[in-house]
Amino acid sequence: QPKLGARGIPAGWQGQSWGSPKYDLTVVDNAGHRVLHLRSENEGSTISRDIKGKVDLKQTPILEWSWKAVVLPRGGDSRRKATDDQAAQIYVSWPRFPESVRSRIIGYVWDTTAPAGLVAPSEKTGTVTYIIVRSGTADLGRWVTERRNVVEDFKKIYGEAPDHPGAVSIAIDSNDTNSLAESFMGPIVFKRQ
């Protein structure tokens, strides 16, 4: 359990190796549960957790999480490199050598503009395919619980069944739109169907 009030990269997570992240992240209480409060002002921050050998998608193919978007980056749109900012993002990664070219990464995002249900490759990062899970302000300020069948999503995108994933990441960014973003992220778990 990360400590309440802990700031920056939470224990058990790693920072990113690119850009100038501010890691404006704080562990806060939400109705007795510890959640992560993320803020971003004209920057991007990504944290990752190694799950290699810890998740068997044959047993637990369902990714479940709760999130709340508070401020969406103005004009953010995953479909375009110039506006590729989202208030709340979760990535599941399958690293393959060489990682920068061959890794497979699915990004589940809450987008400002791109419509929910859309599956779109990132123009910015060739290894990432976005699935727009939520879009716009309809649920802004409300906790929402999401469930995704990662195996089915992977098959749809890559045409084959996935191996076990290597990492889960949480991200927020607002640097392409030069704006603000704010969200909360609850626990992320892999579950049985």
What does the pLDDT look like over 54-89, one tens digit per residue?
999 999 999 999 999 999 999 999 999 999 999 999
Scored b (16 or more CB within 10 A) or e, 92-130 reads bbbeeeeeeeebbbbbbbbbbbbeeeeebebeeeebbbb
pLDDT of residue 12: 95
Considering the domain boundaries, does residue 97 fall inside one? Answer: yes
pLDDT of residue 78: 97
Cα angle vertex 187, ends 159, 25, to 5°? 105
Considering the domain boundaries, does residue 7 fall inside one? Answer: no
User: Could you list the pLDDT tens digit for every one of the 193 residues in the chain?
Assistant: 789 999 999 999 999 999 999 999 999 999 899 999 999 999 999 999 999 999 999 999 999 999 999 999 999 999 999 999 999 999 999 999 998 889 999 999 999 999 999 999 999 999 999 999 999 999 999 999 999 999 999 999 999 999 999 999 999 999 999 999 999 999 999 999 9
Domain count, the chain: 1
Considering the domain boundaries, does residue 16 fall inside one? Answer: no
Considering the domain boundaries, does residue 8 fall inside one? Answer: no
CATH number of the CATH domain containing 184: 2.60.120
Considering the domain boundaries, does residue 11 fall inside one? Answer: no
Residue 73 DSSP symbol: P
Considering the domain boundaries, does residue 15 fall inside one? Answer: no
Reported pTM: 0.97
Q: Contact, 108 vs 88, CB < 8 A?
A: no
Considering the domain boundaries, does residue 4 fall inside one? Answer: no
Peptide bond into 98 cis (omega under 30): yes
pLDDT of residue 161: 98
- Residue 34's domain comprises 24-191
Q: What is the Cα–Cα distance from 20 to 100, expressed in whole angstroms?
A: 19
pLDDT of residue 1: 77
pLDDT of residue 100: 87
